Structure 1
Amino acid sequence: MPSASTGASTHVVASSSAATPTETAVPAEAVSVDTRLTPGGPGYRRMSFALFLAGVATFALLYSTQALLPLISRDFGATASSASWTVSAATGALALFVLPLSALSERFGRRTLMTASLAVAVTVGLLVPFAPSVGWLIALRAVQGAALAGLPASATAYLAEEVRPKALITAIGLFVAGNSVGGMSGRIITGWVAQEWGWRVAVAVIGVIAVGCAVAFRLLLPAPRHFKAGSPRPAALVSMVRDHLANPLLRRLYAIGALFMTVFGAVYTVIGYRLTDAPFSLPQGLIGSIFLVYLVGTVSASTAGKLVGRLGRRGALYLAGATTTAGLLVSLADSLAFVLLGLVLITAGFFAGHAVASSAVSHTAKEGRAQASALYQSAYYLGSSAGGTLGAVAYHSGGWAGTVALGLLAVAGVVGITVLGSHAARTRQRLVAVGH
């Protein structure tokens, strides 16, 4: 999925040395030399692979318990809603800490913050298998989520500072690919390992993999050469956040991102319970493999730009909502083929809607894009947290139909907000016409 930018601007630098407040003048002929990384140049592959591994570790850890919830419930005698907090606590803490950690990266540096974040997260990951109760497990996962917030807060800013503009999209794409691979493979690995040795061994394996990724990340990532430390001013940050929240269009986009993620979080938190129960009664390994459906989302997200070109932003959002709705309704059938088809449609609709909304945020915010993106990330992960918890409560109360009803309500919210946006756009056009 996309990470929050810290808004560092790309620029042409004067020398290859790190900038400091007392930096000495450089020769005039060096001013035009761009020493940032570029494909094929020294350090670019190391940097790309390092951030890919960081993305793998981040999302493998973040969602490491999602495919294991039925086993966790059984081990601790916990309800689905209680066990779901092992996911919701992590995503919720990440949502709360994205913005403040993005400010800390301005002061202490991108690589420093990413290294510290991964170090804390993998350390906690090695403690998670020994949680003596579901309460302790939830607490450890919350700390882990808060630590992981330092990755999306810093990764794109590092790339913006250290990579030439023409190569930036490709470099960010590799980091996002790491997110996707980590989220998907983490769930699949835990499913198959847990089937043989239990959920504790499964999350321990993810922890060890994450340690390896973190060590390789730190060894491979080139030292920053163009970072300029700043002193984060809380007053300026609060003012920018206030301005973004006062923008009606940004508020609508944040709500759309949160609602789409509510559907996604609810469905994928609860699907393991449904497939474990009759009439499916699938083994844990096969349930983990269900997350291969994420590959559909990669395709739908990549085609979102074409959809916007043909249908406009609001038209693309309507189509994403309709696709998600169709998937929810199809998944009600007691047929594994229809459940899988439903997951394909839900996943395609979610990723398309998320891609449209998140890109619209960057387009809408003319200033403070870093904070605008961080606010979207916060709303997005709060939606994930709410969806996981509410989806489990709905499942406990009304079975899969209850979870589907929650999803349909969230999609209705997306459609309603988009309709309001269309009405606001028409109103603006009429006012402009009258003004002329």
Structure 2
Amino acid sequence: MSETGGYIERGSAAFRRTNLAMFAAGFATFALMYSVQPLLPVFARDFVVSPMVASLALSLTTFTLAGSLLIASALSEVWGRKRMMAGSILGAAVLTMVSAAIPHWGGFLLMRAAIGVVLSGLPAVAMGYLAEEIHPRSVGLAMGLFVGGSGFGGMAGRLLTGILADALGWRWAIVGIGAIGLVAGIIFVIRLPPSRHFERRSLAIGSLLRSYRAHLADPALRLLYAEGFLIMGGFVTVYNYITFRLLAPPFSLSQTSVGFIFAVYLVGVASSAWMGHLASRFGRARMLPAGIAIELLGALLTLSGSVPVIVLGIALVTFGFFASHSVASSWVGAQARGARAQAAALYLFLYYLGSSVAGSIGGYAWSFAGWGGVVGMIVILLVTGLALARRLATLPFRAAEII
């Protein structure tokens, strides 16, 4: 298979180049964003703050990213998809390296917030690019590989940060992650094919607001946006606070050991691409609840007092999350009637808002009820997600969705 009607199809050289570029983009985004996650206990100790306050190093980034997404997707209509995404990756990598030199907690948080703003130029725009340039028969796989790159970046960022922090200190660990993000950004710029179906538009606030209203008027899209909030909220809360549990007695693991546990992120790389393929074959309405159920099962397994069982639980949480996200994100692009970058921006707004809000509230659950309280909160989020998925399956969809 090659390119058909100007659209990029599976099997073509352009498809391979696009997937490499998008894999690098997803890798850089998650590595730069989540590299601080295993360092939250270190921040709590070095800056003498509570676990909830330490979590702001990540929550502020995802919060500013969420809010900025709604504007960034509109700016990409003026500046162009590739230019917007390239500037996002390269700019965030540079800011990450600069943040390592900031001595005070308040200044460090401000820089993390700025990184979120700059990173906002990639996620929704990438989803819009794939929806515009990839043939509908191949977009599920392409989206799955993009999400898989995100999973690999999240794993590498956490793993390398833990190793470098033990060996050189957390500041040099952050510098190293920034440098890796810079290399990934260069690969993205070199390999991504230029847009063929993008039509440059002037920035019109009225038209932008109408696009958002139209998407929010679609009941299927509203449910998909809520799913993004719930599945991401549960996922990030696990990773934010499992480090506090594993570094403390009775486990007392080292930062490096905890970092290696995050190698289970690799299952996210596999699950996102695999689930994207299965969704194209059996339907998204069947695959979405399956992914959420796996994430829920994994969260429950982390209640165990056995490290191997906890690691298995984290692996299932990761598998289920990336499977669900791959299905839901590609579903948004298929369901949207025009203005797909804005449709993706709304999904990711709720997705990252879930990371920010649930990720911080989980700190209260940890402080007042320990790990059991954290898991209880996650169960509420994911059971709600399953109920919404059941409702979603009863709604009519566009014919393009059923491929």
- For Structure 1 versus Structure 2, the TM-score category normalised by the shorter chain is 0.7 to 0.9
How far, CA to CA, are the matches of 2:73 and 2:313 in structure 1? 37
Residue 258 (str. 1) matches residue 226 (str. 2): no
Residue 88 (str. 1) matches residue 59 (str. 2): yes
Residue 370 of structure 1 and its aligned partner are, at CA, apart by 2.8
User: Could you tell me which amino acid in structure 2 is paired with residue 244 of structure 1?
Assistant: H
**Aligned length in residues:** 394
User: Could you tell me which amino acid in structure 2 is paired with residue 257 of structure 1?
Assistant: G
Runs of 5+ in structure 1 lacking a partner?
1-9, 13-33, 429-436
Residue 229 of structure 1 and its aligned partner are, at CA, apart by 2.3
Please say if residues 127 and 341 of structure 2, whose CA atoms lie closer than 8 Å, have aligned partners that are also in contact.
Answer: no
Please say if residues 11 and 161 of structure 1, whose CA atoms lie closer than 8 Å, have aligned partners that are also in contact.
Answer: no
Residue 150 (str. 1) matches residue 121 (str. 2): yes
Q: CA RMSD in A?
A: 3.1
Structure 2 residue corresponding to 1:189, chosen from 149, 160, 163:
160
SS in 1 for 2:337: coil
Please say if residues 229 and 355 of structure 2, whose CA atoms lie closer than 8 Å, have aligned partners that are also in contact.
Answer: yes
Residue 260 of structure 1 and its aligned partner are, at CA, apart by 1.1
Aligned ranges for residues 270-309 of structure 1 at < 5 Å?
A: 270-304=241-275
Residue 136 (str. 1) matches residue 104 (str. 2): no
Which moved further from structure 2: 55-64 or 412-421?
412-421
SS in 2 for 1:282: coil
| Aligned counterpart, 2:75 | 104
Please say if residues 59 and 183 of structure 1, whose CA atoms lie closer than 8 Å, have aligned partners that are also in contact.
Answer: yes
User: Could you tell me which amino acid in structure 1 is paired with residue 321 of structure 2?
Assistant: F
How far, CA to CA, are the matches of 1:35 and 1:350 in structure 2? 29
| Aligned counterpart, 1:121 | 92
Q: Deviations over 1:189-223 (max 9, x none)?
A: 00111111221111111112222333444455566
User: Could you tell me which amino acid in structure 2 is paired with residue 410 of structure 1?
Assistant: L
| Aligned counterpart, 1:69 | 40
Which protein is bigger by CA-based radius of gyration? 1
TM-score (norm 1): 0.80
Residue 127 of structure 1 and its aligned partner are, at CA, apart by 1.4
Structure 1 residue corresponding to 2:318, chosen from 341, 347, 362:
347
| Aligned counterpart, 2:400 | none
TM-score (norm 2): 0.86
Instruction: Describe the shift of the 1:344–1:171 C-alpha distance in structure 2 as closer, same or farther (beyond 3 A).
Output: closer
| Aligned counterpart, 2:28 | 57
Please say if residues 56 and 181 of structure 1, whose CA atoms lie closer than 8 Å, have aligned partners that are also in contact.
Answer: yes
Instruction: Describe the shift of the 1:77–1:304 C-alpha distance in structure 2 as closer, same or farther (beyond 3 A).
Output: same
Q: Deviations over 1:125-172 (max 9, x none)?
A: 121112222222221111101101111243355556667777766665
Residue 235 (str. 1) matches residue 206 (str. 2): yes
Instruction: Describe the shift of the 1:228–1:85 C-alpha distance in structure 2 as closer, same or farther (beyond 3 A).
Output: same
| Aligned counterpart, 1:369 | 340
Please say if residues 37 and 162 of structure 1, whose CA atoms lie closer than 8 Å, have aligned partners that are also in contact.
Answer: no
Structure 1 residue corresponding to 2:331, chosen from 349, 360, 375:
360
Residue 393 (str. 1) matches residue 364 (str. 2): yes
Aligned ranges for residues 331-346 of structure 1 at < 5 Å?
A: 331-346=302-317
Please say if residues 83 and 134 of structure 1, whose CA atoms lie closer than 8 Å, have aligned partners that are also in contact.
Answer: no
| Aligned counterpart, 2:399 | none
Structure 2 residue corresponding to 1:407, chosen from 378, 383, 386:
378
Instruction: Describe the shift of the 1:126–1:227 C-alpha distance in structure 2 as closer, same or farther (beyond 3 A).
Output: same
Residue 102 of structure 1 and its aligned partner are, at CA, apart by 1.3
Question: Share of identical aligned residues, percent?
Answer: 41
